Amino acid sequence: MPVMTGFSGNEMYCLHKKGMAPGDLVIGNSVYSLGIIGGIGAGLKTLAGGEVEQITHLIHDGRKAALDRMIAWSDLKGAIGITGVTSELVVHSGNIEFLSIGSAVHRENHNATSLEFTSCADGQELYCQIDSGFKPVHFVFGNVAYSIGIGGGIGGALRSLGRGEVKEYSEVFNVTRHLALQRIQHEARTVGANAVVGINTSIFPFGGMQEMIMIGTASRHDKLGPEFDQAPITSDLTNEEMWNLMHIGYMPLQLVLGVSVYSLGLVGGITAAFKSLGRGEIEELTKLIYDARENALHHIMRDATACGADDVVGIKTYVYELGGGMIEFMAIGTAVKKMPGLTTLSDSLPPQAVIRDKDTFINAAEKSIGRNLNEPSGAR
């Protein structure tokens, strides 16, 4: 029977270079009622705000059930692993489907009896990971569902009458976003990994709250000391970027992130509104946005210094409007450190490992709108 795979030609080439062959597309899913989830969420918002643990656990269980079913399906097909694994949410007429999709991988001329690994990396990214010296172990994720809460809303509303940082909001957002990172590290430890690489971060609206999820590949690298068994490294570098840095001797240490929520303030908002009627710079907004961005970057510099990094690379900033004249800035990057004797298995990457596949299906309606509608507003 023909293999029904999700791998592209470039991915198949990269797998072949590492002694692997494509297997079938595999799927796992689990469907929950949105009514139940929304009801629980509405009843559990606290005066203090922050994580809504029951919803975090419920979403985690749904994602885990879909992942487990996908793995069980693949395990029956003689694969050594599954790569390109996703963890998606799909709404169906009042219900929500947790969906995991990946493509099975076989070792050439070998029929395995059990899986050796699962990974969120596609075929090209998997090549880069393995050539960087990482042995993939397991697809892992960390999530947190959170609410600003009534208390945070009142405190933030009062603070927003004045200009500057709204610390109630900044604190809630910083704590919850770091919880997702801690949980993906915990999952890596439980499967015996000392690293989580290729981390992708997403934020989803969910039942009147938000869920932040990080997905990545728990892996092992022989150059990492025993201390990383308890505190696995984390990196949101693309696998190609990571290969390039490791080729010149830099090891990723930690994903670092910082959040800053600022308000223009009532008086500043009125002043800016009047100034916007005329032409020219609105100095109040310029200074506000500058200060918020600098504060978010200060947070990641502090975290990088604490873990002994030489540099922070791949920094990206995201801007979200929270309403009421308030803006959230989130900065994410990867702290790295020079490590003696570190390099990659190959001297260079093949072109097939870095070429991006061209989409041959075009939705004319989406194209007319422009950018991907799921991309965070104001991504830089």
Per-residue pLDDT of the chain (380 residues; tens, 9 = 90+): 788 899 999 999 999 999 999 999 999 999 988 666 655 555 555 444 678 888 889 899 999 999 999 998 866 678 999 999 999 988 887 788 999 999 999 998 877 778 899 999 999 999 999 999 999 999 999 999 887 654 445 344 544 445 678 887 788 788 888 999 999 999 999 999 999 999 999 988 776 678 889 999 999 999 999 999 999 999 999 999 999 999 999 999 999 999 888 886 644 454 545 455 556 666 777 777 888 889 899 999 999 999 999 999 999 988 877 666 678 888 999 999 999 999 999 999 999 999 988 878 877 665 554 444 344 444 43
In a domain, 39, yes or no: yes
CA dist 135 and 60 (Å) reads 25
Task: Answer for the pair 174, 220: CB distance below 8 angstroms, yes or no.
Answer: no
The CA-based diameter of the chain, rounded to the nearest angstrom, is 72
Structure tokens at 377: 């507003």
| Domain of 50, in residue numbers | 9-339
Query: What order do you get walking across the sheet with 326-338 strand by strand?
Result: 164-165, 250-263, 326-338, 311-323
In a domain, 363, yes or no: no
CA dist 213 and 183 (Å) reads 10
- Number of domains into which the chain is organized: 1
pLDDT of 354 reads 93
In a domain, 251, yes or no: yes
CA dist 21 and 79 (Å) reads 9
In a domain, 374, yes or no: no
pLDDT of 251 reads 98
pLDDT of 76 reads 65
In a domain, 258, yes or no: yes
* 294 contacts: CB under 8 Å, gap ≥ 6: none
Structure tokens at 76: 């029956």
In a domain, 128, yes or no: yes
pTM: 0.85
CA dist 118 and 198 (Å) reads 13
In a domain, 73, yes or no: yes
CA dist 46 and 154 (Å) reads 12
* 138 contacts: CB under 8 Å, gap ≥ 6: 117, 118, 119, 187, 188, 191, 193, 217, 218
Q: Where are the beta strands (DSSP E) in 57-94?
A: 81-83, 88-92
Task: Answer for the pair 23, 77: CB distance below 8 angstroms, yes or no.
Answer: yes
In a domain, 372, yes or no: no
